[in-house]
């Protein structure tokens, strides 16, 4: 039987939301989206873009592999290596493209690690569409990881295994224990860290360092930079020998790059420590909000992570009636159950967080 879900209203706006948004002539606090570090109106980022447009223009109408190559792209990649702890980085125009490149170029990526081997690919439950190629049944991630790792260890020789997973569950939040894949033979772990880079790991460096500390032998990380980092682009992180074939792949050479002004701004924001400052503010805001609430058990949430979700169908409407706009929609497919998702950002003020805490308390009391 086909599931039918009640759709919450959709609002249109001409103004990008920051801490608040105006809908139907009413100003509402905005506690949603993925602008975790509050980059939409960050003054330093806006100044860097404004100045950068004068020297770097609006876009680069060329291939990254053309005869003329702009330094801004490689400078951004090197800055991201320092920020995340990765050996090498490839900057592309979106997180979705990063995933597509990996899935279509995986044999070239593994040409040195697994010459002549048959490649077997494993997809985690609820894998993001950037990496997913098939519909998977809803199963527990840990059970899947334990069984998959066991199968890989028992697999016949001559097979190289590629395991795909998200770093963090979304829209329902969950940490994943990648130590299941510790020192797997003949295996590469590819992780989508779009909801972690900038806000998890050491000083916001994301999943790459965490995966290294878990003892995973071969890893690659992809991520959208258009969430916490505020940059319309994507990144692929890994060892240089595995990333070099990507730079020669037709899908990379034929794709338009990130506008260079954003690559320049990204490198500058990292060098000036602005992302670290925003990360620190976000952690402070999240701790403050948690201190104000006594009903954290009503949400699905993770320690230190600024996202709170609920399947309570009435919460979204109650918040909206009280001047707070969250999100509640079916994701990733239209038949999935809607999840109300509250997001704390670095841009929120203590007064904003007090209002959210009081309103939620009224709903749950």
Q: Of 271, 305, 333, which marks where a domain is finished?
A: 271
Contacts within 8 Å (CB) and 24+ apart, 150-157: 152/122, 152/184, 152/185, 152/186, 152/187, 153/184, 153/185, 155/120, 155/186
Looking at residue 88, which CATH number applies to its domain? 3.40.640.10
Q: Is residue 143 part of a domain?
A: yes
Q: Tell me if the bond preceding 171 is cis, omega within 30° of 0.
A: yes
| 31 vs 27: CA distance, rounded Å | 13
Question: Of the candidates 271, 296, 321, which is a domain's last residue?
Answer: 271
Judge whether 176 lies within some domain: yes
Residues 86 and 224 in one domain: yes
Clarify whether residues 257 and 180 are in a common domain: yes
Q: Are 181 and 310 found together in one domain?
A: no
Q: Could you tell me if 161 and 285 lie in one domain? A: no
Same domain for 74 and 35? no
Asked whether residue 5 is domain-assigned, the answer is: no
Residues 188 and 221 in one domain: yes
In this structure, is residue 166 part of a structural domain? yes
One domain, residues 148 and 164: yes
184, 149 in Cβ contact below 8 A? yes
Contact 329, 262 (CB under 8 A): no
Give dist(CA 365, CA 356) in Å, integer.
14
Per-residue buried b or exposed e for 293-319, using 16+ beta carbons within 10 Å of the residue's own CB: beeeeebbbeeebbbbbbeeeebbebb
Clarify whether residues 245 and 314 are in a common domain: no
Let me know whether 183 and 119 are in one domain: yes
Residues 49 and 154 in one domain: yes
Count the neighbouring beta carbons within 10 Å of the beta carbon of residue 238: 23
Residues 214 and 153 in one domain: yes
Contact 193, 169 (CB under 8 A): no
CA dist 313 and 311 (Å) reads 6
Q: Which of 271, 293, 325 is the last residue of a domain?
A: 271
Q: Does residue 229 contact residue 275 with C-beta atoms inside 8 Å?
A: yes
In angstroms, rounded to a whole number, what is the distance separating the alpha carbons of residues 170 and 343? Answer: 12
Assigned domain for 113 exists: yes
- The domain tally of the chain equals 2
| 151: in domain | yes
In tens digits, the chain (365 residues) has pLDDT values of: 334 444 567 888 888 888 999 888 889 999 999 999 999 999 999 999 999 999 999 999 999 989 999 999 999 999 999 999 999 999 999 999 999 999 999 999 998 778 878 999 999 998 999 999 876 666 899 999 999 999 999 998 899 999 999 999 887 889 999 999 998 889 999 999 999 999 999 999 999 999 998 888 899 999 999 999 999 999 999 999 999 999 999 999 999 999 999 999 999 999 999 999 999 999 999 999 999 998 878 888 999 999 999 988 899 999 999 999 998 877 666 777 788 999 999 999 999 999 999 999 999 87
Cβ count near 236 (within 10 Å): 29
> What residue numbers bound the domain in which 37 lies?
20-41+274-364
CATH number of the structural domain spanning residue 354: 3.90.1150.10
**For residue 216, what are its two tokens?**
């995973």
The pTM of this model reads: 0.93
């Amino acid at each position: 039987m086909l599931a039918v879900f009640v759709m919450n209203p959709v609002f249109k706006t001409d103004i990008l939301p920051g801490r608040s948004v105006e809908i139907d002539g009413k100003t509402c606090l905005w506690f949603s989206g993925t602008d975790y570090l509050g980059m939409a109106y960050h003054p330093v980022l806006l100044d860097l873009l404004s100045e950068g447009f004068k020297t770097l223009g609006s876009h680069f109408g060329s291939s990254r592999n053309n005869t003329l190559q702009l330094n801004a792209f490689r400078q951004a990649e090197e800055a991201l290596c320092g920020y995340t702890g990765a050996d090498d980085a490839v900057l592309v125009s979106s997180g979705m493209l990063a995933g597509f490149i990996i899935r279509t170029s995986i044999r070239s990526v593994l040409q040195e690690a697994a010459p002549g081997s048959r490649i077997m690919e494993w997809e985690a439950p609820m894998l993001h569409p950037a990496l997913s190629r098939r519909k998977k049944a809803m199963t527990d991630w840990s059970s899947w990881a334990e069984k998959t790792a066991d199968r890989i260890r028992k697999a016949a020789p001559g097979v190289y295994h590629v395991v795909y997973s998200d770093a963090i569950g979304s829209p329902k939040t969950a940490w994943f224990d990648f130590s299941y894949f510790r020192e797997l033979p003949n295996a590469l772990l590819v992780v989508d860290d779009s909801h972690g880079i900038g806000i998890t790991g050491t000083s916001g460096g994301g999943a790459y360092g965490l995966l290294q500390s878990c003892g995973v032998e071969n890893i690659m990380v992809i991520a959208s930079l258009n969430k916490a980092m505020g940059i319309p682009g994507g990144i692929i992180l890994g060892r240089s020998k595995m990333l070099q074939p990507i730079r020669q792949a037709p899908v990379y050479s034929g794709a338009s790059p990130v506008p260079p002004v954003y690559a320049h701004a990204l490198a500058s924001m990292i060098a000036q420590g602005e992302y670290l400052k925003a990360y620190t503010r976000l952690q402070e805001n999240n701790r403050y909000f948690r201190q104000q609430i006594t009903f954290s058990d009503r949400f699905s949430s993770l320690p230190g992570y600024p996202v709170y979700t609920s399947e309570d169908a009435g919460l979204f409407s109650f918040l909206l009636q009280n001047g707070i706009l969250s999100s509640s929609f079916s994701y990733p497919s239209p038949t999935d159950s809607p999840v109300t998702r509250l997001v704390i950002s670095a841009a929120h003020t203590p007064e904003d967080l007090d209002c959210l805490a009081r309103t939620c308390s009224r709903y749950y009391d």
